[in-house]
Structure 1
């Protein structure tokens, strides 16, 4: 493939992989989705939220663990994407948006992809072992969640729910790494992040409704059909309610709710802008959830102000 031809359609135009990476490395970096950093952000941000949630005073914030979660998110997202592509290689070959990926296009062999998964996972294990006993146990639980995810689109109309459970698992892990436990308030907040993910991944899935119907893949976007915008609104609203409830149980400071107003406004703006059938807009709105996550992190940091 030429450099122009193998640029994946849902990667940022002229991303750093396409512009700067040596040609021999580009298929591997694309396999790990390093040309699409939004997934790293969406996996990392729940961990950052968990660290802020469990830290009671700003001066005690564990910056070293924040770095570990950032590196771990990049590596585990790469491993998860490669594993997902290995499982879905025959389906991806039939879908316009995914047929250019390294495995279905023949740039990387399936066995090579599994080796890539193993290397990323082993490095991630070294990071996990620095997070404390409970966080380590939760980390091993996440392996089962990751392994099951690619099959969910074959057996349920709501694979986005499983993705929400999996992608936000860093939140309870981060809380455990700081507090040594995961209280009820944290699980309630985590539930809010799960439904947030169902909302934004439904927006992402809107791009593939026709192809998914053709190959028989299920999704929340297909399940809701013409009511997708209403469904996304409900999931986003529930995300705000649950994270607010978790914050109340956690006795978060009042400034948290000031930040949550910004989160609510940002989610509402996504829904107002959404137009079914506009795939380019759907991708932009999906990517906008990096800002949503950062606003949630900022809200949790603001919640600590009352403890100073």
Structure 2
């Protein structure tokens, strides 16, 4: 008789591949790295893909498929390491929050020492990938460790931990741009800034699920900071995202396919805000996950710019 897995995580898809196919002994480890919720891997990977495509379009070089594969693997590993570190730091808070109390460390399925070993292994493999990206990209990659290490503490320090997440999650854009172009330019920095606001917006939507639990646990978030003005605040944040990325494209300059993609992005972000119901946690999760599609639109537009030279 196959043993039954008693663990359910409400922000994972009810029929995700981990719960269906993975052996029971692997599931706590895969959940620790959030492999049952791949949207986070997408949201970490897509800025890197954008950086590769942006730099290729600007420099007139072929799109680097090998680098794309490296960024895909590295994103999965570093997201796993970051989530494990976050859970390690937040294990006491997670135990008090309904959505997170069954996470592997908070529920005792994985010990803190085992989690640390998991983090080290993911980081060592990621280092081997990083060493193939060039001097500037390597330096940026090493610098990102400070952002990753500080993030779990931001919810205790500031009402806007989502801003720190934005700096961290989109760092791959700068690394990818540097790997192709060998430098960081003002247009690249502006696009990165726009992506930071994108992350603040979508992670504020995500945080709407946890407002009541966060109040009880004493955890700060942009969703709590905005309160009844969540829709207006997210609208402003997304407008800043749209404007900064558009200015970046004009300064680069990027070709017309980007502006087609940008128009679609504007419509998609407007749809998120229009559809949003702050009190509806299920809808908030759905809208959060839809940002994978927004990122793919940006990537497609940037890649197509390379074919219009």
The 3 A distance-change label for structure 1 pair 134 and 59 is: closer
Match of 1:106 in 2: 108
Q: Work out whether 1:17 is the aligned partner of 2:18.
A: yes
Cα separation, partners in 2 of 1:107 and 1:31, compared to 1, 3 Å: same
Q: Which residue of 1 aligns with 2:190?
A: 188
Distance 1:13 1:131 in 2: 37
The residue aligned with 1:35 is: 36
Aligned residue number for residue 7 of structure 1: 8
- Cα offsets for 1:189-239 (capped at 9, x unmatched): 000000000000000000000000111100000000010011111111111
Shift of 1:3: 4.5
Question: Structure 1 length as normaliser, TM-score?
Answer: 0.97
Alignment of 1:264-303 (within 5 A): 264-303=266-305
Cα deviation, residue 305, structure 1: 3.1
Cα distance in 2 for residues equivalent to 1:59 and 1:147:
34
Contact kept? 1:259, 1:302, Cα under 8 Å = no
What RMSD in Å do the two structures reach over aligned CA positions? Answer: 1.1
Deviation at 1:59, TM superposition (A): 7.0
1:305 pairs, out of 288, 304, 307, with: 307
Preserved CA contact (<8 Å) 1:253 1:305: no
Of the three residues 152, 160, 163, the one matched with 1:161 is: 163
- Structure 2 counterparts to residues 14-163 of structure 1, below 5 A: 14-56=15-57, 60-163=62-165
Give me the whole-angstrom Cα distance separating, in 2, the residues matched to 1:19 and 1:29. Answer: 12
Task: Give 1:304 shift.
Answer: 2.3
1:177 aligns to what? 179
* Structure 1 runs of 4+ with >4 Å offset: none
Would you say the 8 A contact 1:58–1:305 is kept in 2? no
1:166 & 1:60 partners in 2: Cα distance? 27
Equivalent residue of 2:308, what SS?
helix
Higher mean C-alpha displacement, 130-139 vs 59-68: 59-68
1:90-128 Cα deviation digits (max 9, x unpaired): 000000000000001110001100110000000000000
**Structure 1 position 199 matched with structure 2 position 201:** yes
Q: Does 1:221 align with 2:245?
A: no
Cα deviation, residue 298, structure 1: 1.2
What is the deviation of 1:14?
Answer: 1.0
Are 1:3 and 1:18, in contact at CA under 8 Å, matched by a contact in 2?
Answer: no
What is the alpha-carbon distance in structure 2 between the residues aligned to residue 18 and residue 61 of structure 1? 36
Quote the offset at 1:259 in angstroms: 1.0
Q: Determine if contact 1:44/1:73 at 8 Å carries over to the other structure.
A: yes
CA distance in 1, matches of 2:11, 2:71: 25
Structure 2: distance between partners of 1:3 and 1:150: 32
**1:124-160 deviation line (CA, Å, top 9, x unaligned):** 0000000000000000000000000000000000000
